Structures are given as C-alpha cells and as structure tokens.
Amino acid sequence: MSNESSSKGKQDSDKPNPGKLAESLKIIKKSKGLPPVHDWNPDFCGDIDMEIKRDGSWHYMGSPIARESMVKLFSTILRHDADEKFYLVTPVEKVGIRVESTPFVITSFEQDDQGITFITNVGDSVRLDDTHPLLLNQSESSAEPVPCINIRDRLDACLHRNVYYQLIELAEERVRDKKTEFVLCSEGQEFVLGVIDA
C-alpha cells in the first residue's frame, strides 16, 4: 500500500462516525441516569451525515439506524446548543447532526386522575405540567402550529398523529375570542392542544 493510501485510510479512520461514538460511550452506559452532556466541552470534530427525521427515526448516510439500542444511546448524548444546532457530545468529541423537526416524538401516553404522562419513541417519559408544558410551535412545513412538549434541556418532542387524535378526544372545548380551543388538564394546569375558528 502506498504512503498516500495509508494516509487516506488513517484520515478516514479519524473521522467521527457512529461506531466511534458508541465506543466512547461504553463507560457512560455503565452509569445510571442521563450523561452530564452540558458539563462536557470537548473540541468540535465536525458534522457527520446523521439526521433525525420528522417521524423520530435516525439515519446515517441516508440509511436508517436499525439498532434500537444504539438510537436510544445516541439520544442520551444529544444536545441543542445556543447556536440552534444539534450535537452528539461525549467527553472526548462533539459532532454536529441534522434534525428535521423535533428530535423526539411522543408515541404514547398514560392518563390518571391527576393528569397525563407522555412517552417518547426512545423511552423517555415526562409528566404534562408547568415544568414540561405543551406548546404550540410554528412549523416551517405546515401553516398550522404544531403541539410540542419539552423533554429536557431544549430538546422537544412533537406528538405522533395517532396520539394527537386520541388527545383531541380527551380535550375539553372552550370558546374564546371567537375561536375554539381544545384544552388538556394535567396537574392542575390547562394546556391548549389546538385552536380552530369557532
């Protein structure tokens, strides 16, 4: 093998990729709870061809990442920085990825006498309350606001269409300012799920 080929091979091996990230996370996986990604400040290693699609699926170089365990692992080191970009962060490297809409999707929910708990596609669960409110965010791909809930640290989840329709059935209708609001009640708070003209 020529020196040029050897050099190119070394450069390719130095580029960030999912395998290297997973290797860096072996120690993290042994600890309980979410990794302290906001305490880590490694050098930026560039962007990788990884994207979280609107439906919550993760793709690398155009192909879906089939291993659910790897997707869940990557979701724990995802960070949304003040520059409005998304990064995967480990103690030794920081790489940029793309997010088509929100990084997470609410795929199911549970209801009890006190309120509603949302569950995401990667297994996170949050209670609908004043700490995790339901907000109507404007979407670039839709004229209608999209209901989202903050999961943690500037990382949001949108509602899966099936979940949205189930919640509409549970919501109370309130007429205000000539508009009909669909309101969810949880933990003593009211949250607007959607608004239509009355």
Domains of the chain: 3-99 (3.10.540.10), 104-197 (2.30.270.10)
Hey, what are 167's tokens? Answer: 């919640």
pLDDT of residue 37: 93
What is the pLDDT, as a whole number, of residue 10? 44
Residue 37, token pair as written in the block: 């990604």
Which of 61, 163, 65, 52 lies closest to 102, judged by CA? 52
DSSP for 170-186, written as a single string: HPEEEEETTEEEEEEEE
Q: Which tokens hold the place of 111? A: 């209801």
pLDDT number for residue 5: 44
* The one-letter amino acid at 94: K
Radius of gyration of the chain measured on its C-alpha atoms: 20
* pLDDT score of 26: 62
pLDDT tens track for 40-59: 999 999 999 999 999 999 99
Q: Which of 99, 97, 93, 114 is nearest to 158 (CA)?
A: 99
3-state secondary structure of 80: strand
Structure tokens at 183: 């309101």
Tens digit of each residue's pLDDT (9 = 90 or more) over 70-108: 999 999 999 999 999 999 999 889 999 999 999 999 999
Give me the pLDDT at residue 145, please. Answer: 79
Q: Residue 115 contacts by C-beta under 8 Å, 6 or more apart in sequence? A: 127, 128, 129, 185, 186, 187
Helix (H, G, I), strand (E, B) or coil at 21: helix
175-189: b or e for each residue (b if 16 or more CB lie within 10 Å)? eeeeeebbbbebeee
Residues linked to residue 88 through DSSP beta bridges, in sequence order: 78, 95
Cα 130 to Cα 113, 127, 139: the distances in Å are: 17, 9, 23
pLDDT on residue 115: 96
Q: Which residues of the chain have pLDDT under 70?
A: 1-16, 19-20, 22-32, 139-143, 198
Specify the amino acid at residue 36.
P
Give pLDDT, residue 143: 64
